[in-house]
Amino acid sequence: MQTITVEQLITMLTPVFSGLVCLILVTLHSPIWRKVKGTGLRQSLIFYYILAMCNWLMLIILTLYPREFAYVRSFYFFTTIIAAVVPYQFIFILTRIDNKEKFPKLHYILPTAIFLVHLIWSLSIPKEVAIETSFYSGKAFNGYHRFYIFASLIAPIRFMFGIGYSALSIIRYRRYQHAIVEYAADPCFNSLHWLRTFLFLWISLLIVPIFGVLFTPKALIGQLLAIPAILLFAQHLTLCFNAIRGNYLYIGDSVFLAKETPKEDKNQLSHETVMSYIEDRKPYLNPQFSIAEMANDLSTNRSYLSVFINKTYGTNFSQFMNRFRLEELERIENNPIHTKKSNLDKITLAGFGSDQAYRYTLKKKEENESFS
């Protein structure tokens, strides 16, 4: 057993405790999950925390009890690879912009196949060979060179899976952002900005272990392990906080993407019809107002309405709604009744979901004016 200090032990156990606390919170906090019931979002998040804790516990075994690690190495191999698939599944569901999209279960086939091959192979070799190859010392017994090579590929395979699935996650995130800007009235609130932090931490966790080859096991305990521990702790909190707060727009409930079936009177859509609807209903006062709701109220579909707004007003749905919010804010500021209200209260009354959304709108307005 490796000798470590109390501080090092606390550092090593931090991701386990943070994962456990976050697991309990996301499991017990049921109200926020009602709107995504049946989507697999909650289950994938719970699986993520369980997997992260198991993977980290086995990493602790590797660090403190390298010889005993041989008995759980196959499971460590599995959790290491599958750890790239599970976050991607969560992001896939979270950034879904089409109700027909389903997460392909095929993503789990290859990691499971690699795990089974490793497990069966490791059970078929002598115990001493399995223990020795756990150290990756370069010593390979006669007749077991192939197993040694296969076992030593854990880190490269983990890195390739991680890079591949983080890249897929970034692609989906960018796609989602584009859809939100086009179809959500408050893209600043719904564009999952916090997901950037999660992805940054994920990629950082892939890069840090590469430096492990430069350290001895002793140095690994005292220095290198602390870095991924802190990164994983931050990743746990980022995901848990935003999931519980509901800082995302899941299209299955508010459905900013409506059904694309054209309705008979869609050709009757006109400037007068749209402006009359805006003036009568004042839908922009609702921060979560979506193009699907407006399309339904006007008896059309969101694609036709989106094209109409773009051609008629030279802007997308989000910016179109924000124009009226800015006008409403100006009226509020000029009304003596609201003199004692704070700036945030006035911004909220005008229909902006937050001060950040208001500043985002001002920035976009200034950019458009500078190019006009």
Domain ranges in the chain? 6-245, 264-371
pLDDT digit string, tens, across residues 67-92:
788 888 889 889 989 989 999 999 99
- Spatial contact of 350 and 328, defined as CB atoms under 8 Å apart: yes
Question: What is the structure's pLDDT at 259?
Answer: 43
What does the alpha-carbon distance between residue 176 and residue 355 come to, in Å, rounded to a whole number?
22
Bridge partner residues of 184 (DSSP):
290
One-letter amino acid of 360: Y
Provide the whole-model pTM. Answer: 0.73
Q: Classify 104 as helix, strand or coil.
A: coil
Instruction: Assign a CATH topology to domain 264-371.
Output: Arc Repressor Mutant, subunit A (1.10.10)
Band (275; pLDDT cuts 50, 70, 90): very high
What does the alpha-carbon distance between residue 292 and residue 179 come to, in Å, rounded to a whole number?
13
Give the H/E segment covering residue 346. Answer: helix 343-349
Closest CA to 189 of 370, 1, 354, 368: 354
pLDDT digit string, tens, across residues 86-100:
999 999 988 887 767
Question: What is the structure's pLDDT at 93?
Answer: 87
Q: Phi, psi (5° rounding) for residue 184?
A: -105, 140
Instruction: Assign a CATH topology to domain 6-245.
Output: Rhopdopsin 7-helix transmembrane proteins (1.20.1070)
pLDDT digit string, tens, across residues 158-186:
889 999 999 999 999 988 877 776 666 66
Q: What angle do CA 271, 330, 319 make, to 5 degrees?
A: 45
Higher-confidence residue of 259 and 196: namely: 196
Closest CA to 304 of 277, 264, 250, 249: 264
Q: Record the tokens describing residue 229, joined without a space.
A: 């521990």
The pLDDT mean for the chain works out to 80
